[in-house]
Amino acid sequence: MNEMEKALLSEERELLNRFTLQAAVFLLFLYVICFWAGLNFLREDIFKHCFNPSRHLIVAQNPNTFEILAWKDVLGNVYTGGDLQVRLFPYALFVLGLVEAAVLTGVYHLLKWHCSLMLLFNRGAPAGSRGNPSNTGCL
């Protein structure tokens, strides 16, 4: 808890806690949506050599485990798991997840800081508007 949060009254802390919980749930939902969109973008537009059943035909497959060993595209290029784009795809997903988590964590902290600042500024507001949570600027 930082100094700004320590200066809040108990009812203001409750408002801040409720807001931060709502913000965290929303940002988690946004993270999942953005990760899914980023995954599809990477798979379809960047890493085109990865197996895609709508674009590739199976050339070699393990009959026991059904693992796809080689596939080819419309142009006749054959790709395997050792292809550079196929090997780098998991690392690209990892970087995508890290970047999104860092950005959304920063957004969360900015929202929390803004809400606590608005709660402190609202303290000096006229008595009639102080009890209304919609006037805090964060709810």
- The verdict on residue 64 lying in a domain is no
Q: What is the mean pLDDT of residues 109-124?
A: 85
Query: Higher model confidence: residue 123 or residue 98?
Result: 98
Segments forming the whole domain that contains residue 36? 10-50+90-135
Please say if the pLDDT value at position 105 is more than 60.
yes
Q: Are 72 and 57 in contact (CB under 8 A)?
A: yes
Asked whether the beta carbons of 5 and 116 are under 8 A apart, the reply is: yes
Task: Return the pLDDT at 124.
Answer: 67
- The answer, yes or no, to whether residue 116 has pLDDT greater than 80, is yes
Q: What pLDDT is recorded for position 132?
A: 56
Judge whether residue 126 has pLDDT over 60. Answer: no
Local structure of residue 84 (DSSP, 8 states): H
In a domain, 104, yes or no: yes
Is 43 part of a structural domain of the chain? yes
Domain total of the chain: 1
Tell me if 111 is assigned to some domain: yes
Sign of the four-CA dihedral 30, 31, 32, 36:
positive
In a domain, 101, yes or no: yes
* Spatial separation of the C-alpha atoms in residues 58 and 65, rounded to whole Å: 14
Residues forming a β-bridge with 72: 57, 78
* Inside any domain, residue 131: yes
Q: What is the dihedral of CA 74, 80, 84, 86, to 10 degrees?
A: 80
Where does residue 32 rank: exposed (0-12), middle (13-18), buried (19+ CB within 10 A)? Answer: exposed
Tens of pLDDT along 68-92? Answer: 999 999 999 999 999 999 999 999 9
**pLDDT tens per residue, range 28-37:** 999 999 999 9
- 65, part of any domain: no
- Model confidence at 109: pLDDT above 80: yes
User: Cα separations (Å) of 84 from 30, 34, 48, 65?
Assistant: 31, 25, 11, 24
Question: 47: how many CB neighbours lie within 10 A of its CB?
Answer: 19
Q: Is residue 126 part of a domain?
A: yes
